[in-house]
């Protein structure tokens, strides 16, 4: 039983691979087919050459230059070397501080988002009453709370006022302290008995209070995890059940390894999404600089510093996680 | 031995195609006890209730902002002064909606945004499907390097390059790489000046056409993973029937990938719909009115009473006006959203 079920997914995968096909077909036809792939990616190649690379190159040039707007429209760019970078890193007192605190904050959010979305995907994948309704509700933020609406939400003073039911009617003034989902003291009380230190306590309190934010940002990740969970063959769980494993063990021994490629993808997606979203503090700082005097060059320099840090973080996380990723088909 | 024989089910043949089995059933109470009065069952029930409550709670957290948006958009100035009013307005009014629709030019903005979002979403869906198919099924040289560029377009935030993007489209030219060295692009050489595309739909159309629009890297990735799961035999049989590569894509692959394309379409449409980054870069106040421009205090509405909350309520009302069409689309498409992604079998 165990043997046959373990083999089954491997069989499915081999159907998709191109390896057996080569035996049947001559090499020339294969090559011809491969070359016609350029037809399909042509739009991207053209866009890359005509639009994207010039944008990137220009942006790098701007970050090394100084722009003088000419009176007749148009502009003149003079090269000034590393002046903008110097100003960003040494001249501007707030940039480095914002950068460090912003990145620290985001790095703490990322595991929370990945774990939350995995947990939710596992829950939504189970058979239960009202599953379709819950699924529909959970993906509402992906569609409706982006961009403009997210901006309106974040400045909405009424949300805290209305969900605040505990404040006395006499004053009527909405206070945000009471709107927190869990009060800090509750969690402190819980964690104090576990003796784990205040750092973790504060982290958890912050996560609980920012739960709406985390839900909002984990929609796509949930979809990707759901897709991954769907692709696990039920036969594996069945054989696991027959061998006497509990649901808990099955989760750690089957689900986690099988979705580990998705964990990698999601971690990277979350980093990209969080570090490049317009709502994070570094991006807001940069866009403030952008609208200031001489802001175009300075903000370009700052963005490239930021981008380099993002690349390093992505590479580090990808490298670290790929050590633990389990790929089912490796023949 | 004897007992076993009496307990064993007896099979009687009634007619040619029908059998009847007689056996001693365990009594109802015994079955009931074994099934329902056990720790195992109790655990299952507790888990089910806890799971339901958890999902309900999170659904509440997700939907609460919408409730506040809806209710506050109907509130009048009296409601904000009255301290007993929390969630349900006592003096409901449509004045906020009416003022926004009348003063802020909602209908023009709606039509313009619909055209823009539909155009972008349709183009992006088709183009990303095409590019994704190219990456998934053809092992041409440079496939992997090119795909790395797709990932790169995802990683470099467009906000980073917003100024040069603005410059690119206000002085649009085909040979911009050439321009860095010669000072003149191809269009400038022919017609004498570069083309100004700001305040038109062209910048977003061009970005969509080349798979460089907002989050198009993600769409290409999703499409690529989806097409990887499509068996090669399908295409082979199409080739045998005399179809070319392009015809196979149009006639076989596209109909097959409708759920996934609806997912991508839904993302592209709604993200373009609520976008305020590209609209602020590519459209100045001189340009066509789009939905983000309606978020402001209408001139005929007096918000001096409880102005802080009233302004928020006006913003909420405009947000409701903006997302109302999206909600309708979502209600129809959410089924496909999950279906499409489930069938994709994304594997990293």
pLDDT category of residue B1 using cuts at 50, 70 and 90: very low
| pTM, two decimal places | 0.79
Per-residue pLDDT reduced to its tens digit, B206-232: 888 888 888 888 889 888 888 887 788
Q: Is B315 on the interface with A (CB under 8 A)?
A: yes
Q: Between residues 277 and 306 of chain B, which touch chain A (CB distance below 8 Å)?
A: 277, 291-292, 295
Domain ranges for chain B, please list them: 104-294
In chain A, whose CA is at the least distance from the CA of B163?
A296
Query: In B, which residues are within 8 Å of A223 by CB distance?
Result: 337-338, 341
The domain made up of B104-294 has a fold known as MetI-like fold (1.10.3720)
Q: Is the pLDDT of residue B141 over 60?
A: yes
**Interface A-B: count of C-beta contacts within 8 A:** 299
Per-residue pLDDT reduced to its tens digit, A18-67: 555 545 545 576 777 777 888 888 888 888 888 888 888 888 887 887 77
Higher pLDDT, A74 or A57: A57
Tell if the CB–CB gap between A52 and B212 is shorter than 8 Å.
Answer: yes
Residue A114 domain flag: yes
Q: Is B344 on the interface with A (CB under 8 A)?
A: yes
Q: Is the pLDDT of residue B121 over 70?
A: yes
Three-state secondary structure string covering chain B: CHHHHHHCCEEEECCCCCEEEECCCCCHHHHHHHHHCCHHHHHHHHHHHHHHHHHHHHHHHHHHHHHHHHHHHCCCHHHHHCCCCCCCCCCCCCHHHHHHHHHCCHHHHHHHHHHHHHHHHHHHHHHHHHHHHHHHHCCCCCHHHHHHHHHHHHHCCCCCCHHHHHHHHHCECCCHHHHHHHCCCHHHHHHCCCECCCCCCHHHHHHHHCCCCCCHHHHHHHHHHHHHCCCHHHHHHHHHCCCCHHHHHHHHHHHHCHHHHHHHHHHHHHHHHCCCCHHHHHCCCCCCCCHHHHCCCCCCCCCCCCHHHHHHHHHHHHHHHHHHHHHHHHHHHHHHHHHHHHHHCCCC
Tell if the CB–CB gap between B270 and A158 is shorter than 8 Å.
Answer: no
Residue A132 domain flag: yes
Per-residue pLDDT reduced to its tens digit, A191-221: 666 666 667 777 777 777 777 778 888 888 8
Per-residue pLDDT reduced to its tens digit, A123-168: 888 888 888 888 888 888 888 877 777 777 766 666 666 655 443 3
Per-residue pLDDT reduced to its tens digit, B82-112: 766 667 777 777 888 888 888 888 888 888 8
Q: In the prediction, which pLDDT does B124 show?
A: 92
Interface with chain B: mutation pick from A77, A153, A162, A280, highest number of B CBs within 10 Å: A162
CATH of the domain at A295: 1.10.3720.10
Residue A135 domain flag: yes
pLDDT category of residue B125 using cuts at 50, 70 and 90: very high
* Domain with A93 in it: 2-11+82-322
Q: In the prediction, which pLDDT does B186 show?
A: 64
Tell if the CB–CB gap between B62 and A54 is shorter than 8 Å.
Answer: no
Residue A294 domain flag: yes
For A123, the closest of B55, B72, B330 (CB atoms) is B55
Provide the domain count of chain A.
Answer: 1
Higher pLDDT, B142 or A151: B142
Tell if the CB–CB gap between B161 and A137 is shorter than 8 Å.
Answer: no
């Amino acid at each position: 039983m165990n043997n046959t079920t373990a083999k089954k997914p491997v069989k499915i995968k081999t159907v998709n691979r191109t390896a057996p096909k080569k035996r049947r077909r001559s090499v020339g036809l294969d090559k011809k087919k491969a070359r016609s792939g350029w037809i399909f990616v042509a739009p991207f190649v053209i866009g890359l050459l005509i639009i994207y690379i010039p944008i990137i190159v220009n942006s790098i040039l701007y970050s090394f230059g100084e722009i003088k707007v000419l009176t007749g429209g148009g502009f003149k760019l003079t090269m000034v070397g590393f002046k903008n970078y110097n100003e960003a890193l040494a001249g501007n007192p707030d940039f480095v501080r914002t950068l460090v605190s912003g990145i620290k904050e985001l790095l703490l959010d990322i595991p929370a988002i990945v774990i939350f979305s995995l947990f939710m995907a596992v829950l939504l994948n189970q058979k239960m009453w009202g599953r379709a309704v819950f699924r529909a509700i959970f993906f509402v933020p992906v569609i409706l709370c982006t961009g403009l609406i997210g901006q309106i939400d974040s400045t909405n003073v009424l949300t805290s006022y209305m969900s605040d039911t505990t404040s006395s009617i006499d004053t009527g003034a909405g206070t945000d302290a009471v709107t927190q989902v869990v009060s800090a003291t509750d969690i402190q009380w819980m964690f104090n008995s576990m003796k784990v230190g205040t750092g973790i306590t504060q982290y958890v309190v912050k996560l609980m209070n920012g739960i709406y934010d985390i839900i909002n940002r984990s929609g796509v990740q949930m979809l990707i995890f759901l897709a991954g969970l769907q692709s696990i063959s039920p036969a594996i769980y069945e054989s696991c059940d027959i061998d006497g494993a509990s649901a808990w063990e099955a989760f750690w021994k089957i689900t986690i390894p099988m979705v580990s490629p998705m964990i990698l993808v999601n971690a990277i997606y979350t980093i990209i999404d969080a570090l490049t979203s317009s709502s994070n503090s570094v991006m807001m700082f940069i866009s403030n600089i952008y609208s200031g005097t001489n802001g175009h060059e300075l903000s370009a320099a700052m963005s490239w510093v930021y981008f380099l840090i993002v690349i390093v973080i992505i590479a580090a996380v990808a490298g670290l996680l790929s050590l633990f990723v389990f790929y089912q088909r490796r023949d | 031995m004897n007992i076993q024989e009496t307990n064993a089910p007896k099979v009687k043949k009634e007619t040619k195609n029908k059998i009847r089995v007689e056996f001693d059933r365990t009594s109802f109470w015994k079955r009931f006890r074994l099934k329902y009065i056990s720790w195992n069952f109790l655990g299952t029930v507790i888990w089910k209730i806890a799971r339901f409550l958890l999902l309900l709670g999170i659904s509440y957290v997700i939907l609460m902002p919408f409730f506040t948006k809806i209710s506050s958009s109907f509130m009048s100035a009296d409601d904000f002064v009255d301290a007993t009013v929390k969630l349900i307005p006592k003096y409901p009014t449509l004045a906020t909606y009416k003022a926004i629709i009348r003063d802020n030019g909602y209908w023009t903005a709606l039509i313009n945004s619909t055209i823009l979002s539909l155009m972008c979403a349709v183009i992006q869906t088709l183009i990303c499907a095409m590019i994704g198919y190219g990456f998934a099924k053809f092992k041409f040289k440079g496939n992997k390097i090119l795909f790395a560029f797709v990932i790169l377009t995802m990683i470099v935030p467009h906000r980073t390059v917003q100024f040069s993007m603005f410059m690119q489209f206000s002085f649009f030219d085909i040979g911009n790489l050439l321009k860095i060295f010669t000072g003149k692009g191809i269009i400038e050489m022919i017609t004498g000046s570069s083309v100004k595309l700001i305040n038109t739909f062209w910048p977003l159309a061009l970005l969509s056409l080349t798979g460089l629009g907002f989050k198009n890297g993600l769409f290409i990735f999703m499409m690529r993973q989806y097409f990887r799961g499509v068996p090669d035999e399908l295409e082979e049989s199409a080739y045998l029937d005399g179809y070319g590569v392009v015809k196979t894509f149009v006639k076989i692959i596209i109909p097959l990938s409708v759920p996934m394309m609806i997912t991508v379409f839904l993302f592209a449409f709604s993200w373009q719909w609520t976008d305020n980054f590209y609209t602020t870069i590519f459209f100045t106040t001189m340009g066509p009115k789009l939905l983000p421009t309606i978020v402001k205090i209408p001139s005929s509405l007096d918000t001096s009473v409880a102005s802080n909350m009233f302004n928020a309520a006006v913003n909420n009302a405009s947000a409701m006006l903006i997302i109302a069409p999206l909600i309708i689309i979502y209600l129809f498409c959410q089924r496909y959203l999950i279906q499409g992604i489930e069938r994709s079998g994304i594997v990293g």
